[in-house]
Structure 1
Amino acid sequence: MATVVTRVQVHFQQGGQQNQASYVVKINPCRDDALPEEINHMLFEKEIDFYTKIAPELNSVLTAGGHDEIRVPRFVYSCMQLLNELIFLADLRPRGFKMFDRYKGQDEAHVKLVMQEQARLHASSYVLQTRLPNRNLIDKYPSLKKDWLNMTGEKKKTFTNMMAGSYSNAVVILRKIGGYEKVAKWMEENTQNCLDTVLKQITPVPPFEVLCHGDCWNNNMLFRYNDDGTPAEVMLLDHQITRVASPATDLNYYFFTSVSSDVRRPNLESFLTCYYSTFSSIIQAGGAEIPFSMSELRQEFRDKMLYGLMFAVIAFPFIMIDPAGTPSAEDIMGKDAREKLETWREQHITDDTLKSPLMRTRFLDTLDDMVEAGVIS
């Protein structure tokens, strides 16, 4: 959405031997009708700071407690010159890492790996925070204060239109399907204040203050598999939206964008338990006091479900529609976003789409969960 991602192959001679290496490179796309350049620049700044400043500190916390480093690609090189921003990262493909099919929704084995890795990121940042003089990560890493959701003026209008357009898409779909009139009405009534609602959800309140990934969904993670096909390791990618917030925002974002209801519903308690077990072990190994109980985590997860709903609605087109037909950054965030999304909806939300099993397990069941939890009233 915010970058062009490509690969670079390097052929070189070393010690008289011919060698080659490959890297993944993220580049500023310099689009005229999507994100303002200062926002693009900010996103690169945040990700570069994560790899060069924050991740090494988190790794120090983890290794000192006897744990492995956080699982992210190896940082190689970056440039922050305006309009020429780029980041070189190690290519994970030669090691067998690949993306999970987003249409399927991740199964239990994949989800538990993600739970553990989210917990490692959150817990190591919490331990690091307890060691700071003022217990404030934002003071130590000012780029964490910058957030695309925190913009004002025309930039705020851009993101309000993006979110409102996603709600409008959902309303049209629900009216076509029928049976969700109350949900559609609720969305219509909450369209204009949806950005302010999300801002409230990401405002950190003790004791739920950790470094969050911010964009933790299927397309921002890669998995490596054993010979029998079971997932053995996960790598979290795209750290452009890292922020200090409640860990429940990352959890909700992931569960409602990347896990279908037939896996999420019966296993939610075991998934949260898996997360909490890893989180607690790292906190204790770091010599800190566990900041919240399992029951408090459950309640916090419930309190942040609205955040999961918002981004499930935004991610819905990318899950349901063939990649060739998914909206572009210009469609979603450009000046004429609402009109372009309306055109996209007319072209791609067909009767076949509405009858797809994914409509139930990935979208309608999410809305049912929100109604049952009282998020949608």
Structure 2
Amino acid sequence: MSHENFQKWLDEVMSKIIKNFGLDIDSVRYKLLESTGIFISSIVYRIHLQFENKTNRQNEELFIILKRSKPNLYEINHIDLQFQNEILFYQKYTRPDEIYAKCFYVKERPFDYVIALENVNTRGYYACSCVYNPPVEYTLAAMRELGRFHGKGYVMKQMQPKKFFDIVEQIQEVRYTNKFMDNIFKFCSNIKTLRVVEYLRSQNHDAIFCDKMEACLSNAFDKVMIKTVQPLEPLATLCHGDFTLSNMLFKTEDNGQLHSMLIDFALIRYSMPVVDLSTYLYVCCTNEIRKNNFSEIMRAYHDALKDYLLDADIQDIEKYSYDALLNDFKRGALFGFVLMCIFVPILLGHLNSELMIQEIINLGPLESTKKQKYIGGDEISKILAEALLHLKDLGCLEHVL
């Protein structure tokens, strides 16, 4: 897009955002800040908006995040559906008194979706400095916020069932479906996971174990991913769907406690808690952290969930017991492991995400996945093998073995 076309687009969007604020502002001006980012599904612009409040005659300012869809990924990542999900979340699910970023404006136009959000850096929330293997206190803060997030789903499901399920029915399935031909996540799930079986065989690991894992992982998309996301009562709730460090911000309060805020709700889904729990544990945490801190992490999540339910006056919380959540985790933890096989080589720097997307565009989903299967070599394969064997030790593979 040329500079002139971009400026015209930006002026049009900003005029609509300003109009949404009402008639009580004057002398409006805005500036595009230098810090912009290009992500897998969107382009992000940071805007500084200044104006005069006509009510109190005070000069005020707002910092805005402007998310715009990337048109060249519509067929691959179904960006339109992702933006529809995020718009649904902000317009129908959140309340003004909650900590989420305020949504100022949305535009739903084919190939040009836009969401304008409050830049919560002004509230002291910032991204973690690492996208993998954060300090334990960051993981515990993330788990506490996830407990509250899942708790909100349980409360709305019980207190406002019609509103809750009306929202659920509008959620667009983006990843875990067979209705899309050339679904990149299907190829990645069924191909990239098999490297771990090949590695274990090369290390003369138990042949029966390898055979059974190969039978499961060769069709991981259907047997693991689609199966795990199916909602089962009573534990099904609204899940974030992409619960990773890149989709949360952190703030240290005056009392020293670290708090987390969730962002990017493009993959929300009515599903099982293990979808979010296993995603974080296997995409963001090392094998050592999972082995040494698993119980502490799970307890932090469950304690926050329980407190949220009790504060909302939900009395029958036994169905959300720690044992019930742990059993759900054991049933579906392979979900996070499959995502680990796909994303950890990228997070550890063995494949640039922009290069990965370009290869998908150039080669197609199947051939690009085959090319990327062994990224990181034995270093990554060993990490994946250790994670799989720890899943066995936790009792998460009994339904496979």
Instruction: Note the C-alpha offset of 1:232.
Output: 2.0
Seen in structure 2, the aligned counterparts of structure 1 residues 163 and 329 have a Cα distance that, compared at 3 Å, is: farther
Q: Which amino acid aligns with 1:363?
A: L
**Aligned pair 1:300/2:310, yes or no?**
no
**Matches of 1:181 and 1:296, distance apart in 2:** 31
Following superposition of structure 1 onto structure 2, how do residues 52-67 of structure 1 map, counting pairs within 5 Å? 52-56=91-95
Give 1:9's aligned residue.
47
Following superposition of structure 1 onto structure 2, how do residues 60-79 of structure 1 map, counting pairs within 5 Å? 69=98, 71-79=99-107
Superimposed CA distance per residue, residues 75-111 of structure 1 (whole angstroms, 9 cap, x where no aligned partner): 2211111111011122234444333344651232111
Give 1:200's aligned residue.
227
Q: Could you tell me whether the CA contact under 8 Å between 2:41 and 2:73 is conserved in 1?
A: no
Superimposed CA distance per residue, residues 308-335 of structure 1 (whole angstroms, 9 cap, x where no aligned partner): 2111112122222256466533545887
Seen in structure 2, the aligned counterparts of structure 1 residues 52 and 180 have a Cα distance that, compared at 3 Å, is: farther
Corresponding residue SS for 2:291: helix
Superimposed CA distance per residue, residues 188-229 of structure 1 (whole angstroms, 9 cap, x where no aligned partner): 43345222121111111111111110100121112234699x
Q: Which amino acid aligns with 1:234?
A: S
Give 1:28's aligned residue.
69
**Matches of 1:314 and 1:88, distance apart in 2:** 30
| Higher RCO by CA contacts (8 Å cutoff, separation 6 or greater) | 1
Q: Could you tell me whether the CA contact under 8 Å between 1:161 and 1:338 is conserved in 2?
A: yes
- Pick from 90, 102, 118 the counterpart of residue 51 of structure 1: 90
Give 1:66's aligned residue.
none
**Matches of 1:206 and 1:118, distance apart in 2:** 19
Corresponding residue SS for 1:149: coil
Q: Could you tell which deviates more after superposition, 179-188 or 297-306?
A: 179-188
Instruction: Note the C-alpha offset of 1:44.
Output: 0.7
**Matches of 2:128 and 2:106, distance apart in 1:** 27
**Matches of 2:128 and 2:251, distance apart in 1:** 10
Following superposition of structure 1 onto structure 2, how do residues 1-377 of structure 1 map, counting pairs within 5 Å? 3-14=41-52, 21-31=62-72, 34-35=75-76, 39-56=78-95, 69=98, 71-102=99-130, 104-133=132-161, 137-144=164-171, 146-155=172-181, 157-168=183-194, 170=196, 174=199, 178=203, 185-186=211-212, 188-197=214-223, 198-225=225-252, 232-288=258-314, 289-290=316-317, 291-321=319-349, 324=352, 327-329=355-357, 331=359, 336-344=364-372, 348-349=375-376, 354-355=378-379, 363-372=384-393, 373-375=395-397, 377=401
Unaligned runs of 5+ in 2: 1-38
Alignment RMSD: 3.3
**Matches of 1:3 and 1:364, distance apart in 2:** 30
Q: Could you tell me whether the CA contact under 8 Å between 1:213 and 1:239 is conserved in 2?
A: yes
Instruction: Note the C-alpha offset of 1:175.
Output: 6.7
Q: Could you tell me whether the CA contact under 8 Å between 1:103 and 1:320 is conserved in 2?
A: no
Q: TM-score, with normalisation over the residues of structure 2?
A: 0.76
Seen in structure 2, the aligned counterparts of structure 1 residues 341 and 184 have a Cα distance that, compared at 3 Å, is: farther
Corresponding residue SS for 1:9: strand
Corresponding residue SS for 2:105: strand
Superimposed CA distance per residue, residues 231-262 of structure 1 (whole angstroms, 9 cap, x where no aligned partner): 72212111011111111221111111111122
Seen in structure 2, the aligned counterparts of structure 1 residues 332 and 236 have a Cα distance that, compared at 3 Å, is: farther
Instruction: Note the C-alpha offset of 1:113.
Output: 0.7
Q: Could you tell me whether the CA contact under 8 Å between 1:102 and 1:258 is conserved in 2?
A: no
Q: TM-score, with normalisation over the residues of structure 1?
A: 0.80
**Matches of 1:359 and 1:103, distance apart in 2:** 20
Identity of aligned residues (%): 18
Seen in structure 2, the aligned counterparts of structure 1 residues 334 and 367 have a Cα distance that, compared at 3 Å, is: farther
Unaligned runs of 5+ in 1: 64-68
**Matches of 1:42 and 1:325, distance apart in 2:** 21
Corresponding residue SS for 2:47: strand
Q: Could you tell me whether the CA contact under 8 Å between 1:127 and 1:286 is conserved in 2?
A: yes
Superimposed CA distance per residue, residues 357-377 of structure 1 (whole angstroms, 9 cap, x where no aligned partner): x775x5343122123235264
**Matches of 2:195 and 2:346, distance apart in 1:** 13
Corresponding residue SS for 2:43: strand
**Matches of 2:352 and 2:40, distance apart in 1:** 18
Q: Could you tell me whether the CA contact under 8 Å between 2:177 and 2:226 is conserved in 1?
A: no
Instruction: Note the C-alpha offset of 1:304.
Output: 1.4
Instruction: Note the C-alpha offset of 1:50.
Output: 0.3
Q: Count the aligned residue pairs.
A: 353
Q: Could you tell which deviates more after superposition, 311-320 or 336-345?
A: 336-345
Instruction: Note the C-alpha offset of 1:153.
Output: 4.0
Seen in structure 2, the aligned counterparts of structure 1 residues 17 and 103 have a Cα distance that, compared at 3 Å, is: closer
Q: Could you tell me whether the CA contact under 8 Å between 2:237 and 2:272 is conserved in 1?
A: yes
Corresponding residue SS for 2:76: coil
Seen in structure 2, the aligned counterparts of structure 1 residues 231 and 341 have a Cα distance that, compared at 3 Å, is: farther
Q: Could you tell me whether the CA contact under 8 Å between 2:150 and 2:237 is conserved in 1?
A: yes
Q: Which amino acid aligns with 2:85?
A: K
Seen in structure 2, the aligned counterparts of structure 1 residues 19 and 359 have a Cα distance that, compared at 3 Å, is: farther
Q: Which amino acid aligns with 1:286?
A: A
